[in-house]
C-alpha cells in the first residue's frame, strides 16, 4: 500500500517534468523547421519573381486531399487518447490504427507527388534550383518526421497492448499524441507556403 502511494507520488512529481522535457524537444524541432522555412521565404522574396522559371508544377488537388488525410489523423489520435482516458482499450486501438493508416496514406500521397515531379517535370532535389531544393528539403524532412511518427505510434500501440501503460499512468501515450499533433501543425505551414501562397 505504502509502495503504491510512493509510486503514485513519484509519477505525479515527474510527470510534468517529462511533459516539459518533451515540449522542449518539440521546440528544438520547431526551431529546425523554422530555420528552413524562413530560408525558403527569404529566397522566395529576394529572387527575381516567384516561382522561378522552370519550377515544377505542384499538384494542388492531391496535396489538398493528402493534407486532409494528415489533419484527419490529428483528430483520430485525439479520439484515441480520449478513449484511453475513458478506459476503452479497443476503441483506443481502433483510433490508433486509423491514425497510423492515415499517416501511411499521407506518405503514399507524398510518394506519388515526388514520383510525378521526378518523371513528368524532371524535378529533383539538386537539379531544380532554389525551388526544388527548398521543396524537397522541407517536405522530405517533414516526411521523415511522419515516418518516425508512424513507427513511434506503432510502438506505443504495441506497448499499450502489452500492458506497459495503465489507465492511470499513460504519459507515453500523451507524448506520442503531442508529437503527432506537432507533425500535423508543421504541415499546415508547409502546405500553405508551397501550395497556397
Partner 1 sequence: MEHFAIVERSAAVFFGMLVFIAAAVALKNDWKATGVENQVFKLMLALLAFGALLGIFAGLGIIGKA
Query: Which residues, 26 to 45, sit near partner 1 by CB under 8 A?
Result: none
186 contacts: CB under 8 Å, gap ≥ 6: 30, 33, 142, 145
DSSP structural state of residue 125? T
Piece of the chain touching partner 1 by CB under 8 A; list 40-48, 52-60, 87-95, 145-153:
52-60
DSSP line for 47-62: SSSSSPTTPPPP-HHH
Least distance CB 3 / partner 1 (angstroms): 26
Place of cell 486501438: 93
CB neighbour burial string for 40-69, b if at least 16 within 10 angstroms, e if fewer: beebbeeeeeeeeeebbebbeeebeebbeb
CA–chain centroid gap for 172, Å, is: 17
| Residue 102 or 150 with smaller CB distance to partner 1 | 102
Contact residue for partner 1 among 95, 114, 131, 187 (CB under 8 A):
187
Piece of the chain touching partner 1 by CB under 8 A; list 39-47, 137-145, 146-154, 183-191:
183-191
Cell of 161: 497492448
Q: From residue 136 to residue 175, what is the string marking binding to partner 1 with x (rule CB under 8 A)?
A: --------------------------------------x-
Which conformational region is residue 87 in: left (phi greater than 0), alpha (psi within -120 to 50 degrees), or beta? left
Query: Which residues, 55 to 94, sit near partner 1 by CB under 8 A?
Result: 57-65, 67-69, 71-72, 74-75, 78-79, 82
Query: Which residues, 95 to 134, sit near partner 1 by CB under 8 A?
Result: none
Where along the sequence are the contacts to partner 1 (CB under 8 A)? Answer: 16, 19-20, 23, 57-65, 67-69, 71-72, 74-75, 78-79, 82, 174, 177-178, 181-182, 184-185, 187-188, 191-192, 195-197
Amino acid at each position: 500500500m505504502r509502495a503504491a502511494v510512493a509510486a503514485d507520488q513519484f509519477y505525479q512529481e515527474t510527470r510534468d517534468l517529462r511533459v516539459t522535457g518533451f515540449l522542449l524537444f518539440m521546440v528544438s524541432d520547431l526551431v529546425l523547421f523554422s530555420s528552413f522555412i524562413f530560408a525558403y521565404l527569404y529566397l522566395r522574396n529576394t529572387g527575381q519573381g516567384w516561382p522561378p522559371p522552370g519550377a515544377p508544377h505542384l499538384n494542388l488537388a492531391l496535396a489538398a486531399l493528402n493534407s486532409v488525410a494528415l489533419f484527419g489523423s490529428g483528430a483520430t489520435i485525439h479520439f484515441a487518447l480520449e478513449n484511453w482516458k475513458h478506459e476503452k482499450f479497443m476503441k483506443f486501438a481502433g483510433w490508433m490504427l486509423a491514425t497510423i493508416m492515415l499517416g501511411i496514406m499521407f506518405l503514399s500521397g507524398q510518394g506519388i507527388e515526388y514520383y510525378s515531379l521526378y518523371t513528368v517535370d524532371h524535378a529533383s532535389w539538386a537539379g531544380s534550383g532554389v525551388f526544388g531544393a527548398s521543396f524537397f528539403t522541407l517536405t522530405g524532412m517533414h516526411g521523415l518526421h511522419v515516418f518516425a511518427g508512424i513507427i513511434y505510434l506503432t510502438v506505443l500501440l504495441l506497448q499499450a497492448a502489452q500492458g506497459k501503460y495503465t489507465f492511470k499512468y499513460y504519459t507515453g501515450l500523451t507524448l506520442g499524441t503531442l508529437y503527432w499533433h506537432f507533425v500535423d501543425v508543421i504541415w499546415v505551414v508547409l502546405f500553405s507556403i508551397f501550395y497556397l501562397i
